[in-house]
Amino acid sequence: MAKNKTETTDADVYEFIKTFSNSEQKKKDSLELIEIMRNISGFEPKMYGPSIIGFGNYHYKYESGHEGDAPLIGFSPRKAAISLYTFTGLEEHEHLLKDFGKFKMGKACLYVNKLSDIDLNVLENMMKETIQFLEKKYGKN
């Protein structure tokens, strides 16, 4: 079976931001996201795989038998845009995107160019609802 890419590592989150972020704006936004996500989740940032900064953890198991661990919420300051892992993608949570701001949607994340493009209050609410949903569905770790 293939190894999950979202396993935690001992890599330094701040060193990752310093070396991976391709602009001063992404570095600034990344540090701000760390503070927001730490405050919302109550967890310290950890590296998940080579490029995701995650907060908290849950264990999932699909009907197919595939299982693994993933962060409750997280982000990655990628070159094209910041990837936010803060949204379930479920239809019942689509209302959370209504006043979010300027973003693109991926399969498992939301892409934003910079934090000033989105409403941070909406982001915080989205993170809270996502954490509540994941903890209810998969249990608290």
Looking at per-residue pLDDT, the higher value among 59 and 27 belongs to 27
Residue 64: is its pLDDT beyond 90?
no
107: DSSP letter: S
- Residue spans per domain, the chain: 13-138
Mean pLDDT within 59-84: 90
Report the predicted TM-score, pTM, of the whole model to 2 decimal places: 0.92
Q: For the segment 7-26, what is each residue's pLDDT rounded down to a tens digit? A: 889 999 999 999 998 899 99
Share of the chain above pLDDT 90, in %: 74
Confidence of residue 5 (pLDDT cuts 50, 70, 90): low
- Quick one: pLDDT at residue 49? 92
- Quick one: pLDDT at residue 90? 85
Class of the 13-138 domain? Answer: alpha beta
Q: Where are the beta strands (DSSP E) in 21-124?
A: 45-48, 52-55, 58-61, 67-70, 73-77, 82-85, 104-105, 110-112
Helices 24-41, 13-20: crossing angle, 10 deg rounding: 150
User: Which of 99, 103, 102 has its CA nearest to residue 121?
Assistant: 99
Mean pLDDT within 68-81: 93
Share of the chain above pLDDT 70, in %: 96
